[in-house]
Structure formats: structure tokens, C-alpha cells
Amino acid sequence: MSRTKIVCTIGPASNSPDLMRALIRAGMNVARINFSHGNQATHAQSIAALRKVAEQEERLVAVMADLQGPKLRVGEIEGGAVDLRKGEIVTLTSRPQPGAENEIPVPHPELLRDLRAGQTVLLDDGNLELIVTQASEGCLKCRVVAGGQLTSHKGINVPGAALRLSTLTPKDRADAAFALEQKIDFFALSFVRRAADVCELRQFLRDRKADVPIIAKIEKPEALSVFDDILAEADGVMVARGDLGVETPAEEVPFHQKRIIRACNRAGKPVITATQMLQTMIENPHPTRAEASDVANAILDGTDAVMLSGETAVGGYPVEAVETMAAICTNAEAHLTSGPVHDKSGSHETITEAISCAAVEIAGEVNGTAIITATMSGMTARMVARHRPSVPIVAVTPSRATLARLALVWGVESVLVEPFETTDDMVRMMVRTARQKGVVAWGDPVVLTAGIPFGSGGRTNMLKVHVVGKGEEA
């Protein structure tokens, strides 16, 4: 199994129990439920089937609810499609049933209200381009710059426009409440523009006495300028390169990706690289060499997880896509020489950071076979993982929520254990768990980290080199 985590989107191509089982065996760690498609009834069926199969396979598969967010889309076009020709004038209108030729329904009054002459409107993920020539109440006159066929419900992007949109729409609130009933493990928040957007969802969860990690999807240019603030509020980040690549120059996206990954590594928060990673495998059984390089370079950059979207949701080769992704990940991991934040300078802001760095260093010095962490919140494991040690990381926790949270963290194999009372009990539990997993053997040196007293969460202050079997019963 790869140490990089793999997120798979569940859809028509993968929502049967047999296919879910195959995805799990191929390497799926997290199942993404995309609330932009389907309905709550079908999502409930998918989640129930997934959990049943995962239990049968004795594997933890976390569930991520990806909220749609304020995605702007064209309305229902008469006849299903219209051809836009370069140079012609078309009208974007809020009328649900346009009455004139060359009128395109746009069920977003805020879009028509906020745009002005001279601004660009992109349709169908940037394949079609319009320029606003005249703005009036309820409609926009636009000139077609790049034409083509436009079908119903295609996406709308407006680069550089400051639209007054709420990140958490009424649909998102209903879907989030439903997702809480389903006991999902992560929320992915779409079109985050500022830290307050994350806080809005956080407050929604607090009002319902829920504590679920929030993954902020970075896909708007506005988010890049305040990214540090967003990262401080979020529990993790997704580099959503699809919409980001539409609203920012394509040549800049790789560098935004690298910057975001580096910042997440420093903060010890998981980062997912997503969108079009193995896009051609929607229709072909093999990726392009460029796609293989894209996945590998994301891993070398320091991503915790890579995500498949259409490849597993609607593609013809969902299992092959996961197998291919896992193979690329495993090969790339063999070329990791040190962690993205590997630092021998001795400068650390917290005791937890110092302990996690030292654990990786000492494991190398004593030829340790594993780093074993006891963690209540997951912090210890995350801080160790950001250094990308060459040895396995085993995290033992009595918390089911923490077990699921670590499904997104690079290199961490998490195990649910019974609560323990004393430090000696904790050490015995840590070593016994690693032995049962086949990670360590009798006589192996291992590095143990934990917070003492255990259970307070977020504090790591114990570091111990332990020889498996010493002082233990065979």
C-alpha cells in the first residue's frame, strides 16, 4: 500500500458494493461524496454500502462530504444546447424561460447585479468566453470572444469579479445537516474566499454540537491572497486545480500548488492535491506520461493525499485508476529523501514540533523499524508525518474520530485501541499493536512518542527508544 493517501469520488461508476470493495483493495483511504451531484437518498445508500464493505474488509475508509458551495451554473437551455458564435451578442438573463433568441438563462441574480461592462465571463470551465458590453437590471449583454456549444447547467466563472455570495448556501446547510446524520468524517468546503467562510461552517457545526474537520478547497483567486488566514482556521486544504485553473493563468497553477502544499506541511495539516490527476483514465485504461509525472511531482512536493474525481465517479476504469494511482505513489515515495519540513537547525516553536523532529532523527540514528505514536487528537502523528520518515508511522488512539481524521495524513497507519490507564500500559499497547500489524518484530528498536498525561490532546512531551520484547511477555 502507498503511504500517500488516496481519495476516491463515489459515483455511478463506483457505487455498487463490488466496485467499492475493489476500490478499497486497490488502495482507497477516503471516499468522497460529491453533493454537486445526486441526492441525499442515493448518498445515504452509498455511505451505508461503503461502510458495510469496509467493515467486511476490516479496513478504515473515511467519508468526506464535499459541499457544492455557490457554484454558478447556466440554467436550463431550450433544446438542451445552443451554439455561440464568435463576435455575436448574447444576453445573460435571470428569466428562467428566456423569450428571445440568443438569451441564456442564468439563475443567479447576484451575478447579473455585480458585473460591469468590460468584465470577462467564462462558461463550461473556460472553454467559452464572453465579454460584458452592457449591464442593466436583470440582464447582461455580452460579446462572444471564444465560441462553441453551450449545454444546460454548465459552470460559470468570472475571473477577478468580487461577487457578493455566501459560501454556505441553503442547499449546503441542508446537505451538511444530512451529512451529520450520516456521521461523515470530513467536510470539504467549496469556493472558500476568506477565513470567515470556514468559520461560518464551523459555527454551523458548533450549533449542532458537532466537531468534524473542515477541508478548505482553494479554487478562487481571492483565497490565494489570504491563504495563511484560511489555513489557520481550516483543518486541512484541498488544492482544487479545476476552477483555480480557470480563474488564474494555467501557467501559475503549479506554483500555487507548491506554495499551498509547503504551507500545509509547515502547519502539520493534511493537504489534498485534486482535479484531472489521471483524467484520461475516464476513457482509457492507462494514463498519459504527463499525468504520471503530475501525480509523482505532487508527492515529491509533499502532498498528503491525491484525489480522483471523474476517474472513479463516472469513468470506465475506476479500479484501474486507483491501482495506477497507488503504483505511481509507491514509486514516487521511494525517491523521497527527507521530509518537506525536515530541519536540523534546532529551531522549533513548540515542544511537540521538537519531539516530532527528534523522533524522526533518532529513528534514523538507531535504525528504528517504526515510529509509534499514542495520540488523542492526532496532533502527534501529524507532526511526525510532516517530516516524511522512511520508517512506518503507527498511531494508536482510543478515539474513533481521530482514527478517521488520520486517514488523510501521509504515511500514518492508525489503529483503534482500548483506553489505557498508565504510561506502562500505554507503552505495552503501542508495541503490541505494531507487532500485531506486522510492522515490528521481536528485538527491533522502535521510537515511541506520546503526550503525558495521556488524554489532554494536542501536547507531545514523551520520546522513548524501546526494544521490542524487552521487559515484555513473549
**pLDDT tens, position by position, 229-261:** 999 999 999 999 988 988 899 999 999 999 999
Rounded Cα–Cα distance for residues 354 and 175 (Å): 41
In a domain, 346, yes or no: no
- The three cell numbers locating residue 298: 505532487
Give the per-residue pLDDT at 165: 81
The active-site residue, picked from 193, 202, 217, 241, is: 217
Give the per-residue pLDDT at 345: 47
Residue pLDDT, tens place only, 344-381: 444 567 888 899 999 999 999 999 999 999 999 999 89
Domain count across the chain: 3
In a domain, 251, yes or no: yes
Last residue of a domain, one of 333, 361, 395: 333
Q: Is 59 labeled as catalytic in the residue annotation? A: no
Is 248 found in the same domain as 102? Answer: no
Q: Which domain holds residue 115?
A: 81-157
The active-site residue, picked from 32, 193, 386, 459, is: 32
The answer to whether residue 471 scores a pLDDT higher than 90 is: no
pLDDT band for position 423 (50/70/90)?
confident
Residue pLDDT, tens place only, 128-163: 999 999 998 889 999 999 999 999 889 899 988 878
Burial class (CB in 10 A: 0-12, 13-18, 19+), 274: buried
In a domain, 94, yes or no: yes
Is 205 found in the same domain as 187? Answer: yes
The answer to whether residue 474 scores a pLDDT higher than 50 is: no
In a domain, 309, yes or no: yes
| Average confidence (pLDDT) over 195-219 | 98
Give the per-residue pLDDT at 339: 58
Q: Is 220 labeled as catalytic in the residue annotation? A: no
In a domain, 100, yes or no: yes
CA-based nearest residue to 414, from 425, 401, 428: 401
Is 173 found in the same domain as 54? Answer: yes
Pairing of strands 214-218, 186-189: parallel
pLDDT band for position 109 (50/70/90)?
confident
The active-site residue, picked from 73, 113, 171, 183, is: 73
Give the per-residue pLDDT at 80: 87
Is 358 found in the same domain as 325? Answer: no
Last residue of a domain, one of 283, 306, 333: 333
Question: 153: domain CATH number?
Answer: 2.40.33.10
Give the per-residue pLDDT at 162: 78
Give the per-residue pLDDT at 163: 82
The answer to whether residue 457 scores a pLDDT higher than 70 is: no
Give the per-residue pLDDT at 161: 83
Is 171 found in the same domain as 304? Answer: yes
Give the per-residue pLDDT at 338: 62
Is 102 found in the same domain as 37? Answer: no
Is 196 found in the same domain as 327? Answer: yes
Give the per-residue pLDDT at 153: 86
Is 418 found in the same domain as 270? Answer: no
SS3 label, residue 132 = strand
Residue pLDDT, tens place only, 32-73: 999 999 999 999 999 999 999 999 999 999 999 999 998 888
On the CB side of 265, how many CA atoms lie within 13 Å of its CA? 26
Place of cell 482535479: 275
Peptide bond into 453 cis (omega under 30): yes
Question: 387: domain CATH number?
Answer: 3.40.1380.20
- The three cell numbers locating residue 110: 447576484
In a domain, 358, yes or no: yes
Give the per-residue pLDDT at 96: 73
- The three cell numbers locating residue 248: 488564474
Question: 257: domain CATH number?
Answer: 3.20.20.60
The active-site residue, picked from 275, 373, 449, 460, is: 275
Is 242 found in the same domain as 139? Answer: no
Q: Is 470 labeled as catalytic in the residue annotation? A: no
Mean pLDDT, rounded, of the chain: 93
| Average confidence (pLDDT) over 203-222 | 97
Last residue of a domain, one of 97, 130, 157: 157
Give the per-residue pLDDT at 2: 94
pLDDT band for position 9 (50/70/90)?
very high
Q: How open is the CA angle 412-413-416, to the nearest 5 degrees?
A: 125
Rounded Cα–Cα distance for residues 307 and 277 (Å): 7
Q: Is 73 labeled as catalytic in the residue annotation? A: yes
In a domain, 285, yes or no: yes
| Average confidence (pLDDT) over 219-224 | 93
Give the per-residue pLDDT at 134: 95
Share of the chain above pLDDT 90, in %: 76
Give the per-residue pLDDT at 99: 54
In a domain, 341, yes or no: no
Is 409 found in the same domain as 302? Answer: no
The answer to whether residue 398 scores a pLDDT higher than 60 is: yes
Is 368 found in the same domain as 256? Answer: no
Is 218 found in the same domain as 296? Answer: yes
CA-based nearest residue to 5, from 286, 290, 393: 393
